[in-house]
């Protein structure tokens, strides 16, 4: 009877928890006056992790079916540009309509990548690399290289903090709950994960591999769009490559989460890893470490994660 209620934690998950506590303890010691763990700073760390976490939730869905998407950061940027452009004095559309159009654009771009990968059997790496350059050219045509400023107060309120914490945290909770239900509690989500584990067995079982593979790219693109919209609402302006850099964070979080949580899509795992990355970034910044070392550490985490997955 006791074994029935025993919680099994893998070696990788235990290592991650030790790493999380160790990083928190290290920066709490290095940064004077306890400023690292002040509620306000913790709130900032949670807010900073929102956009990378949403990106990673989308990337994780694509990973689950054995795919990869290099274009997510560029999809986020062009969707944010289109949303901002539709709210500019040229069009003056309401934020709700502009965001709806942005999501439709994301569905179209993700659908194109997913269609080529699933129907033609081309490597997702190659397809999304090409899509990446296509989007770079497209957004240059749309904007002419100009930055678009956002003055709509209703749109910028998405990133405001009326209750002492950012509204973006509420968006993350909604997105995370939706991802958890879809990927971990529905038949479709389990089929997607099974495709990534064994694509040939999935075909023999009658799973529609092509349709579900395309679906993952669409969902990943929609997540990227949401992340791009939040980024622009927080910044108050959008430029050509506003959200491009989010791709590295998404890959880092999604890869590390998969390694640390039994090679499965775990919504909680992605959120936890996103918080770890945010904590490392904030701690290094508060310690006065140059920003280029932050990117070095992120890259190092990816390499270590890949090595650990083979151990």
pLDDT digits (tens, 9 = 90+) for 36-58: 777 788 888 999 999 999 999 99
pLDDT in tens, 93-142: 888 999 999 999 999 999 999 999 999 989 999 999 999 989 988 888 77
pTM of the model: 0.90
Torsions phi, psi of 10, nearest 5?
-70, 165
Specify burial of residue 63 (Cβ count, 10 A radius: 0-12, 13-18, 19+): buried
Residues of the chain with pLDDT under 50: 1-2, 4-5
- pLDDT of 5 reads 45
Task: Encode 41-56: b = buried (16+ Cβ within 10 Å), e = exposed.
Answer: beeebbbbbbbbbbbb
Residues 72, 264 contacting (CB under 8 angstroms): no
Task: Bin 206: left if φ > 0, else alpha if -120 < ψ < 50, else beta.
Answer: left
Q: How far is CA 250 from CA 141, 224, 282, in A?
A: 27, 10, 17
Instruction: Report H helices in the chain.
Output: 11-30, 39-64, 72-87, 95-120, 124-143, 153-156, 167-185, 187-197, 199-204, 209-235, 246-260, 267-286, 291-309
Q: CA 48, CA 26: separation in Å to the nearest integer?
A: 20
- pLDDT of 1 reads 45
| Tokens found for residue 258 | 């998969």
Nearest to 184 by CA among 274, 64, 69: 64
| Tokens found for residue 260 | 């640390």
């Amino acid at each position: 009877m006791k074994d029935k209620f025993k919680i099994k934690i893998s070696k990788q998950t235990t290592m991650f928890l030790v790493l999380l506590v160790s990083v928190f303890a290290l920066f709490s010691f290095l940064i004077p006056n306890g400023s690292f763990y002040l509620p306000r700073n913790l709130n900032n760390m949670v807010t900073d992790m929102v956009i990378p976490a949403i990106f990673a939730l989308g990337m994780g869905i694509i990973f689950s079916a054995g795919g990869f998407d290099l274009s997510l950061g560029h999809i986020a940027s062009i969707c944010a540009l289109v949303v901002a452009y539709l709210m500019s004095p040229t069009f003056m559309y309401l934020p709700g309509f502009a965001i709806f159009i942005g999501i439709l654009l994301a569905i179209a771009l993700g659908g194109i990548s997913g269609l080529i990968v699933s129907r033609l059997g081309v490597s997702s790496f190659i397809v999304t690399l090409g899509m990446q350059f296509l989007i770079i050219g497209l957004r240059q045509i749309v904007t002419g290289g100009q930055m678009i400023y956002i003055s709509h107060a209703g749109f910028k309120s998405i990133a405001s903090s009326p209750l002492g914490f950012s509204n973006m945290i509420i968006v993350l909770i909604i997105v995370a709950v939706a991802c958890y239900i879809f990927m971990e509690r529905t038949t479709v989500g389990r089929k997607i994960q099974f495709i990534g584990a064994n694509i040939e067995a999935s075909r023999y079982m009658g799973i529609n591999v092509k349709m579900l593979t395309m679906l993952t790219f669409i969902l990943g693109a929609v997540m990227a769009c949401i992340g791009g919209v939040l980024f622009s609402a927080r910044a108050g302006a959008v430029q050509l490559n506003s959200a491009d850099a989010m791709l590295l964070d998404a890959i880092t979080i999604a890869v590390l989460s998969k390694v640390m949580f039994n090679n499965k899509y775990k919504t909680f795992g992605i959120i936890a890893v996103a918080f770890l990355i945010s904590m490392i970034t904030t701690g290094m910044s508060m310690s006065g470490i140059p920003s280029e070392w932050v990117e070095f550490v992120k890259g190092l985490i990816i390499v270590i994660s890949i090595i650990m997955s083979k151990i």
